[in-house]
Amino acid sequence: MAENTIKTKCLIIGSGPAGYTAALYTSRANLNPIVIEGNQPGGQLTITTDVENFPGYPEGTTGTGLMDDMRRQAERFGADIRSGFVTSADFSQRPFNIKTDSGLEIEAETVIISTGASAKFLDLADEKRYMGMGVSACATCDGFFYRGKRVAVVGGGDTACEEALYLSNLAKEVFLIVRKDYLRASKVMQQRVFDKPNITVLFNTNTIGLYGEEFLEGARLVEFKGTDKERVYELTIDGFFLAIGHRPNTEVLAGQITLDEQGYIVTDAPHTSTNIPGVFAAGDVADPHYRQAITAAGSGCRAALDVERFIGENPI
């Protein structure tokens, strides 16, 4: 075995609530897991300011604070957490061979994939500037902070309509920004949106910018872009929610793991096993529906328990 090669009973690819919870459980099971944190250590919660819906924090906490707590708890029981990201993974035979950007090679008896999913953005420079300061990709996570305020949701599919409907029960006004002249959402979802008196649908509209001093104060919109009816105007809002989809972080797994049509890892529910024996998936990378910190943490626990059982039944 080369100097830069190490062995482990369980490798966890990715961090966040799923990865750190899996690390906690596998550590306590004496599996001595190695965690490769990925490009965004701590996952998407690290770009969220306040977290008030995670059990055990009655006064709320910050996204980075929650992830720091989970990371330290996993380390307390011996998890080997390393920075960096996986560049290649060979799942053709056990032990699996995984390589990282630092040149490290890992021989793993089992692997838990918890690489998460990234929200799709409009690629506006202002999005990053106001992230956590008025811009969000999760209405369920952050909608509570916009009670009685004016917010906008970008998108025209079921997810966008669901986000708009959720926010309509909290915010004073909700604007649904749709670039086409129709909604792609199901007829039932469309009708629910149209029936809500405090939701205004802005068809044929694109967002070209955001503005505000410290926090978001509004969006710059263009209606009927590129036509003789083109109109540029500003919309005063306190919150701007992106609902144009998520992209599961599965690039390095291409051709090996079974994915659904959207690119999410297919698991053998209620278990977390994938099509490859010994490879499991947890968190948003395998969850196109809930995408919550608590559900991700729960699936990380399930993956760890599945790993422990698998190793016991399939020793190398």
Give the burial string for 59-70 (b: 16+ CB within 10 Å, else e): eebbbbebbeeb
Is 142 designated active site?
A: yes
In angstroms, the CA 284 to CA 301 distance is 14
Using alpha carbons only, what angle is made at residue 28 by residues 24 and 31, rounded to the nearest 5 degrees? 95
In angstroms, the CA 48 to CA 247 distance is 18
126, 138, 161, 284: the catalytic one is 138
- Measured from the Cβ of residue 262, the count of other Cβ atoms closer than 10 Å reads 11
Which residue type does 60 have? G
10, 50, 126, 141: the catalytic one is 141
Contact 216, 230 (CB under 8 A): no
Q: Output the six-digit token pair for 289.
A: 């529906």
142, 238, 284, 306: the catalytic one is 142
Contact 161, 176 (CB under 8 A): yes
Q: Output the six-digit token pair for 219.
A: 């969006």
Question: Is it true that the peptide bond before 270 is cis, omega within 30 degrees of 0?
Answer: yes
Contact 148, 171 (CB under 8 A): yes
Q: Which residues are catalytic?
A: 138, 141-142
